[in-house]
Structure 1
Amino acid sequence: MNRLALVLGLALLAGCSTVKNSRTRPDYETVDKAQVKRLVVVTQPLPDGKQEVGELWSLIARRYVNQNRDFIAKSNLAVTGTPEDTSFKGLCVENLEGILWLSPEVKRTGKGVEAAVKAQLLRCRDGQEVWAAEAAGSWPSEDDRYKEITAQYTSELGPDVTPYVAPTFRLLSATLDTLPRPQLSEADVEEKIELGE
C-alpha cells in the first residue's frame, strides 16, 4: 500500500511539472560527456518578438549552465526570424563544441507571462542532437523570490525585460536542470574559472 501511495504521489508531482519531457542521447556517457563542453547559447525566434527579451533568455541560460551544469558557455545571442539552418553550423567557431538552442513561445497575460520552450543541445561537429527538452508554464511577473535577479537583469538589459525575468528564470532553470553534466579536465576547470561566472 505504501508503495502504491508513493507511486501515485510521484505521478501527481510529475503531472504538475514545468518540464514536459527531456531526453539525452543513449551514448552520451561514452561519446559526448568529455567532448561537448564549450557552448554558444542561441535564442531563436525572439520571445514575444522582442530583441531585449531574447537577449534576456540567452543570458539567463548562459549563466545558468555555467553555474549549475558545468558547461563552459562562452557566448550568447538572440536572433530574429526562424533558423534557416537548425544545426547552427555557422556559429561553431574557434573551439566551440556545441550549440544550446532555445526556441521559445512567450506571451504576456495580465500580470504574468505564459511561456514554452523547446531546447536542444547540438554537437558542432555533425549537428546531431545530444539533449533536448520541452517545458511550459504560466507565472506572475512579480515574485518576491526573484526580486534581486529581476533588479539585476533590469539594470543590465533595461526596463522592458522586467516583466519577463522571473517567469523566464523559472522556466529555463527547470528546463536546463535536465541537461547532463559534462566531464571537465583540469584545464577546462581553469578556463571556466577565467570566465568568472
Structure 2
Amino acid sequence: MNRLALVLGLVLLAGCATVKSSRVRPDYETVDKTQVKRLAVVTQPLPDGKQEVGELWSLIARRYVNQNRDFIAKANVAIPGDPEDTSHKGLCVEGIEGILWLAPNVKRTGTGMEAAVRAQLLRCRDGQEVWAAEAAGSWPSEDERYKELTVQYTNELGAEIAPYVGPTFRLLSATLDTLPRPTLNDVDVEEKIELGE
C-alpha cells in the first residue's frame, strides 16, 4: 500500500513544473519597476537542437508575459549555439529596455518530455540581472487541456512542434509567473493595447 502511494505521488509530481529558484533585484521597486518594461525574448541554445522549437519557446514566452505579467514584449528570437555573451546586447535596440533570456534543456522521453529552463531578465542599459529563475518538470506530449493551444501553434510554426507545445507552455508559465510586475503609465498601456496580445 505504501509503495502504491509513493508511486502515485511521484506520478502526480511528474506532471508539474517545479520552480527551483527565483530571485528579483533588491532595488527592483525603486529602479527597474518603471524602467524595464519593453522586452525582447531570446531562446538560446535551441531546445532539442531545433530552430522551430526555439521559436515556439520564444513565442510562448512573449505572449505569456504580454498577457500575464504587464510587460510589453515586442520581439522574439531563437538563436543556435551557446551564448558567448548572455547580455544579448545586439538585441538592445531602440525601444527595447530588457532581454528575457531562456536557456532550455529539453529531452524527449517515449510519449513525453523532460524539460528544464534557466531564465533571466537583463537590463539593456548595463546588462545587469533584474530577475532570474530555474524550473524543471516532465509531462506527456499529448494533453487534452492543451489541444487547442497545440493546434494554434502548429498552424503558426508547423506540425513538427506539436509534441513540444503542452510541456513548453506548462514549464514556461510556471517559470514566468515568478517575474515581477512592472508599472505601466498611460503611454505604455496604449502601446500594449496596440500589440493586441
Structure 2 length-normalised TM = 0.91
- Give deviations 1:16-57, integer Å, cap 9, x for gaps: 761111000010000000000000000000000000000000
2:176 aligns with: 176
Matching residue's letter, 1:85: D
Matching residue's letter, 2:72: I
Q: Distance in 2 between matches of 1:67 and 1:18?
A: 22
The alpha-carbon deviation at position 94 of structure 1 amounts to 1.2
1:41 aligns with: 41
Give the SS at the match of 1:167. helix
- Give deviations 1:150-174, integer Å, cap 9, x for gaps: 1100110001100000000000000
- Correspondence 1:42-81 to 2 at 5 A: 42-81=42-81
1:129 aligns with: 129
- Correspondence 1:86-101 to 2 at 5 A: 86-101=86-101
Q: Distance in 1 between matches of 2:129 and 2:71?
A: 16
1:9 aligns with: none
2:85 aligns with: 85
- Correspondence 1:115-194 to 2 at 5 A: 115-194=115-194
- Give deviations 1:83-105, integer Å, cap 9, x for gaps: 12111111100111000000000
Misfit runs of 4+, over 2 Å: none
CA contact (8 A) 2:17 2:138 kept: no
Matching residue's letter, 1:187: V
Q: Distance in 2 between matches of 1:68 and 1:28?
A: 19
For structure 2, the 5+ residue unaligned runs are 1-12
Give the SS at the match of 2:29. helix
- Correspondence 1:14-33 to 2 at 5 A: 18-33=18-33
- Give deviations 1:60-81, integer Å, cap 9, x for gaps: 0000000000000000000000
Q: Distance in 1 between matches of 2:102 and 2:72?
A: 17
Q: Distance in 2 between matches of 1:141 and 1:158?
A: 16
Identity rate, percent: 83
Q: Distance in 1 between matches of 2:17 and 2:167?
A: 14
Question: Root-mean-square deviation (CA), in Å?
Answer: 1.0
Q: Distance in 2 between matches of 1:124 and 1:53?
A: 26
Matching residue's letter, 1:181: R
Segment of structure 1 superposing worse, 81-90 or 135-144: 81-90
Give the SS at the match of 2:99. strand
For structure 1, the 5+ residue unaligned runs are 1-12
Matching residue's letter, 2:182: P
